[in-house]
Amino acid sequence: MIRPLFFRYMLVVVLVALAGCALGKKEWPAAQKSEDAFNLELTLADRQARCLMVNVAVSGAIERLYSASIQYEVVGDGEGEGCIGCPFIPRDAVHFTRHEKGFYLQGNKLKLSFCGFDPEKEYRFRIAGKSELSTAPLVYTDIFIATP
């Protein structure tokens, strides 16, 4: 008679332990929008032949900006090119990471430069910023046109 009672007791202990493991909400930490978010606003874009230099104002949690990209597409009627009235589809991008050549963040001003454009073509572009927090969404500027 001791064995069935012991078995029931152990079953109850195991069930309580398993039920305790399932309690609570478990998820990865997420960025707090008010404390960890930043915004990007293009303040100046200068294109000279093959090169594009941009100045971007960063507001909010500036120290969270880890990397930035210039996303772009050629504007034209050829294969793989976007048209002015079509939705922007970045077909290529150049990436810059903090402490890397081409990424200059001083205070709230970010400067990026890229020399890889065809001097005869027009491009649409935007700047995308990535936070050092992996759960934070990408932040984008508006879309702009760089004429030759």
* pTM, entire model: 0.74
Rounded Cα distance, 127 and 143, in Å? 8
**Residue range 28-70, pLDDT digits in tens:** 666 556 678 899 999 999 999 999 999 999 999 999 999 999 9
Strands 103-106 and 109-115: antiparallel
Give me the residue label for tokens 């202990």: 13
What structural domains and CATH numbers belong to the chain? 33-146 (2.60.40.2060)
Question: Which stretches in the chain have pLDDT values below 70?
Answer: 1-4, 7, 15-34
Interatomic CA distance for residues 6 and 12, integer angstroms = 10
Contact 52, 94 (CB under 8 A): no
Which CB contacts under 8 angstroms, 24+ apart, belong to 78-84? Answer: 82/124, 84/124, 84/145
Tokens of 29: 């930490």
Confirm if 108 and 99 have CB atoms less than 8 A apart.
Answer: no
